C-alpha cells in the first residue's frame, strides 16, 4: 500500500486534484485515442496513490473521481452510441499474493459454505457486448463509460470466430474480450512503420483502435479475435449455476471461449495457477495482463453485487511489468 502520511486535509485535496488531472489526461489518451503516453505500471502507481488518499480522506471523494467511474472516458462521437441495460464494469485489482489472499478471505466472510473460484486468464484486449436475438447477432458494442458504449456491430461481423448465428435460437447478451493476436500486432506495427504511420503501443490499444473504426473494412484487415466469458442473466437463460460451466455452455453455443480456466478452492492452488500461467505467458498467441479470480457460484454474484465501478465477486491479479517479471519468477515465486 502506498504510504499516506498526510494529515492536512487541504494538502490532501490539492494532491488529489493534481492526481485526478494527471490520470484523466492519461485515461483520455489511452481510452479515447488508443495511444497511451505512459506505461500501465506508472498509471497504476498514481491511481493507487489516489485511491489511498481517498480512503484516508473519504470526505474528499468526488462523484466524478476517476476511481468512481468505469473507463473514465467519453465515448468517441463519430460512432453511434448504445446504452447498456446492465452496466459493463471494470475489475478491482491486486498486485500481490497477500492482497489476493485478503480479497479471498473477505469474500468468504459473507458465506458459511467454503467458496470455490474460477481462475481465468485476463485477456489484454477491450470489453465487448454482443446481443443475440433468437440466435442471431443483432448488436455489438464497446464498454465505453460502462453505461454508454459505441455501436461496433458492423465491425464485429468482420472478426473470424464470432458467430452471426448461435447453435440455439436463444436471446441473450454475452460479454467478453476482443483482442489482437501477437503476430498480427507485430505485422500491423511493421507495416505502419513502413508507411510512416504512428505505431500502436501494445496489442490492447491496437485492438481498440482497430475495432473502433468507422470503416469495417479496416477492422477486417486487422485480424482481431475474441473470447467470451460472461452472459447477462446466465442462470435463467442458460440454466447454468457456475462460471466454469457457463464457459462450456457459451462454447457449446458456438462462441469462442478460453479453455485455460481452472476451478480452485484455496490460495495455494491459486498461487500455483498464477505461477504456471505466468510461465506459460510468452508461449500464448495472445497477450494477457493478469489472472481473473471469480467466485464460481453465479448465484453468489447476485448476492455480492457490485460497487459503482467493479463487481465484488471477481478480482484481477495484475502481472508486474514484463521487465520485473523475470526477477519475480526467479526470486520470489518459488513453490
Ligand atoms: P482492466 O483492464 O484492468 O480490467 C477490467 C477489464 O478486464 C474488463 O472490463 C474486461 O474487459 C477485461 N477482462 C479480460 N479478461 C477478462 C476475464 N477473463 N474476465 C473478466 N474480465 C476480463 O480495467 P480497465 O478499467 O479497462 O482499465 C484499467 C487499466 O488500464 C489500468 O489498470 C491501467 O493499467 C490501464 N490504463 C492505462 C493507461 C495508460 O496511460 N497507460 C490509462 C488508463 C488505463
CATH number at residue 233: 3.30.470.30
Which residue is catalytic, options 45, 81, 122, 157? 122
What is the structure's pLDDT at 108? 97
Residue 329 has pLDDT above 60, yes or no: no
C-alpha cell at 131: 446481443
CATH number at residue 56: 1.10.287.610
| Order of strands across the sheet that contains 136-142 | 136-142, 126-133, 172-179, 225-231
Q: Which residues of 162-182 are buried (b: 16+ CB within 10 A; e: fewer)?
A: beeebeeeeebbbbbbbbbbe
Does residue 57 share a domain with residue 111? no
As a whole number, mean pLDDT of residues 236-242 equals: 97
What is the structure's pLDDT at 77? 64
Does residue 293 share a domain with residue 214? yes
As a whole number, mean pLDDT of residues 281-299 equals: 97
What is the structure's pLDDT at 293? 98
Does residue 55 share a domain with residue 129? no
Q: Which of 19, 34, 68 is the last residue of a domain?
A: 68
What is the structure's pLDDT at 35? 87
Residues 47 and 66: beta-carbon distance below 8 Å: yes
Residue 20 has pLDDT above 80, yes or no: yes
Whether residue 76 is contained in a domain is answered as no
What is the structure's pLDDT at 89? 97
Among 66, 87, 316, 319, say which to mutate for ligand 1: greatest number of ligand atoms within 8 Å of CB: 316
- The band of 253, judged by pLDDT with boundaries at 50, 70 and 90, is very high
Whether residue 2 is contained in a domain is answered as no
As a whole number, mean pLDDT of residues 41-55 equals: 94
Whether residue 114 is contained in a domain is answered as yes
Q: Is 234 helix (H, G, I), strand (E, B) or coil?
A: helix
Please tell me if the CB atom of residue 32 comes closer than 6 angstroms to any atom of ligand 1. Answer: no
As a whole number, mean pLDDT of residues 261-289 equals: 97
Does residue 161 share a domain with residue 46? no
What is the structure's pLDDT at 321? 75
Whole-angstrom CA distances from 297 to 17, 45, 87, 292 are 40, 32, 20, 15
Does residue 177 share a domain with residue 37? no
What is the structure's pLDDT at 32? 83
Residue 328 has pLDDT above 80, yes or no: no
Looking at the structure of the chain, the number of domains it has is: 2
Condensed to tens digits (0 to 9), the pLDDT of residues 193-223 reads: 999 999 999 999 999 999 999 999 999 999 9
- The band of 34, judged by pLDDT with boundaries at 50, 70 and 90, is confident
- The band of 7, judged by pLDDT with boundaries at 50, 70 and 90, is confident
Among 39, 66, 122, say which to mutate for ligand 1: greatest number of ligand atoms within 8 Å of CB: 122
Residue 229 has pLDDT above 60, yes or no: yes
Looking at 121-266, list the stretches that DSSP marks H as alpha helix, in order from N- to C-terminal side: 153-156, 182-194, 203-211, 216-221, 234-237, 243-252
Please tell me if the CB atom of residue 180 comes closer than 6 angstroms to any atom of ligand 1. Answer: no
Distance 89 CA to ligand 1 centre (A): 10
> Mean pLDDT, the chain, as a whole number?
92
As a whole number, mean pLDDT of residues 51-58 equals: 94
Condensed to tens digits (0 to 9), the pLDDT of residues 75-122 reads: 666 899 999 999 999 999 999 999 999 999 999 999 999 999 999 999
Please tell me if the CB atom of residue 117 comes closer than 6 angstroms to any atom of ligand 1. Answer: no
Contacts of 7 (CB under 8 A, 6+ apart): none
* In the block, residue with C-alpha cell 472516458: 73
Closest CA to 174 of 241, 226, 220: 226
Q: Is 307 helix (H, G, I), strand (E, B) or coil?
A: coil
Ligand 1 atom at shortest distance from the alpha carbon of 36: 40
Does residue 119 share a domain with residue 48? no
Residue 3 has pLDDT above 50, yes or no: no
What is the structure's pLDDT at 322? 66
Residue 323 has pLDDT above 80, yes or no: no
Whether residue 314 is contained in a domain is answered as yes
Residue 326 has pLDDT above 80, yes or no: no
Does residue 292 share a domain with residue 147? yes
Whether residue 75 is contained in a domain is answered as no
As a whole number, mean pLDDT of residues 241-247 equals: 98
Closest CA to 234 of 257, 258, 250, 251: 250
Q: Any idea of the CA torsion for 26, 31, 37, 39, to the nearest 10 degrees?
A: 90
Please tell me if the CB atom of residue 40 comes closer than 6 angstroms to any atom of ligand 1. Answer: yes
Q: Could you write out the DSSP letters of every residue in 96-161? A: SHHHHHHHHHHHHTT-SSPP-EEEEEEESSEEEEEEEETTEEEEEEE-TTSSEEEB-HHHHTTSTT
Does residue 254 share a domain with residue 164? yes
Q: Which of 35, 68, 101 is the last residue of a domain?
A: 68
Does residue 64 share a domain with residue 92? no
Does residue 97 share a domain with residue 54? no
Q: Which of 40, 68, 96 is the last residue of a domain?
A: 68
Range of the domain at 173: 81-331
Condensed to tens digits (0 to 9), the pLDDT of residues 155-198 reads: 999 999 999 999 999 999 999 999 999 999 999 999 999 999 99
Does residue 104 share a domain with residue 242? yes
Whether residue 73 is contained in a domain is answered as no
CA distance 50 to 69: 14
End-to-end CA distance of the chain: 24
Does residue 225 share a domain with residue 86? yes
Residue 143 has pLDDT above 90, yes or no: yes
Ligand 1 atom at shortest distance from the alpha carbon of 88: 9
Whether residue 91 is contained in a domain is answered as yes
DSSP letter (8 states) at residue 164: S
* In the block, residue with C-alpha cell 488529489: 16
Active site residue 122: yes
What is the structure's pLDDT at 75? 62
Question: Of 334 and 248, which is predicted with more confidence?
Answer: 248
* In the block, residue with C-alpha cell 465515448: 75
Whether residue 1 is contained in a domain is answered as no
Amino acid at each position: 500500500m502506498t504510504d499516506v502520511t498526510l494529515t492536512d486535509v487541504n494538502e490532501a485535496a490539492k494532491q488529489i486534484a493534481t492526481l485526478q488531472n494527471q490520470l484523466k489526461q492519461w485515461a483520455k489518451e489511452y481510452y479515447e485515442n488508443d495511444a497511451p503516453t505512459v506505461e500501465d505500471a506508472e498509471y497504476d502507481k498514481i491511481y493507487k496513490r489516489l485511491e489511498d488518499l481517498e480512503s484516508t480522506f473519504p470526505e474528499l471523494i468526488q462523484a466524478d473521481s476517476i476511481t468512481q467511474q468505469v473507463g473514465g472516458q467519453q465515448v468517441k462521437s463519430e460512432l453511434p452510441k448504445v446504452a447498456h441495460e446492465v452496466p459493463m464494469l471494470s475489475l478491482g485489482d491486486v498486485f500481490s499474493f497477500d492482497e489476493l489472499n485478503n480479497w479471498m478471505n473477505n469474500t468468504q466472510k459473507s458465506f458459511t459454505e467454503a467458496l470455490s473460484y474460477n481462475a481465468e486468464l485476463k485477456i489484454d484486449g477491450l470489453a465487448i457486448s454482443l446481443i443475440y436475438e433468437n440466435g442471431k447477432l443483432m448488436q455489438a458494442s464497446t464498454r465505453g463509460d460502462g453505461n454508454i458504449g459505441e455501436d461496433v456491430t458492423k465491425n464485429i461481423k468482420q472478426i473470424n470466430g464470432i458467430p452471426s448465428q448461435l447453435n440455439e435460437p436463444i436471446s441473450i447478451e454475452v460479454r467478453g474480450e476482443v483482442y489482437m493476436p501477437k503476430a498480427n500486432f507485430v505485422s500491423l506495427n511493421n507495416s505502419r512503420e513502413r508507411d510512416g504511420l504512428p505505431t500502436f503501443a501494445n496489442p490492447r490499444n491496437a485492438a481498440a483502435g482497430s475495432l473502433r473504426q468507422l470503416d469495417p473494412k479496416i477492422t477486417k484487415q486487422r485480424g482481431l479475435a475474441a473470447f467470451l466469458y460472461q452472459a447477462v442473466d446466465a442462470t435463467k437463460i442458460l440454466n447454468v449455476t457456475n462460471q466454469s460451466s457457463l464457459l462450456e455452455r457459451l462454447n457449446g453455443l458456438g462462441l469462442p471461449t478460453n479453455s485455460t480456466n481452472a476451478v480452485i478452492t484455496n490460495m495455494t492452488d491459486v498461487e500455483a495457477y498464477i505461477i504456471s500461467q505466468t510461465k506459460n505467458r510468452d508461449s500464448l498467441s495472445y497477450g494477457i495482463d493478469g489472472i481473473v479470480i471469480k467466485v464460481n457460484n453465479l448465484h453468489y454474484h447476485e448476492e455480492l453485487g457490485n460497487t459503482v465501478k467493479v463487481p465484488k465477486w471477481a478480482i484481477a491479479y495484475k502481472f508486474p511489468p514484463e521487465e520485473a517479471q523475470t526477477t519475480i519468477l526467479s526470486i520470489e515465486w518459488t513453490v
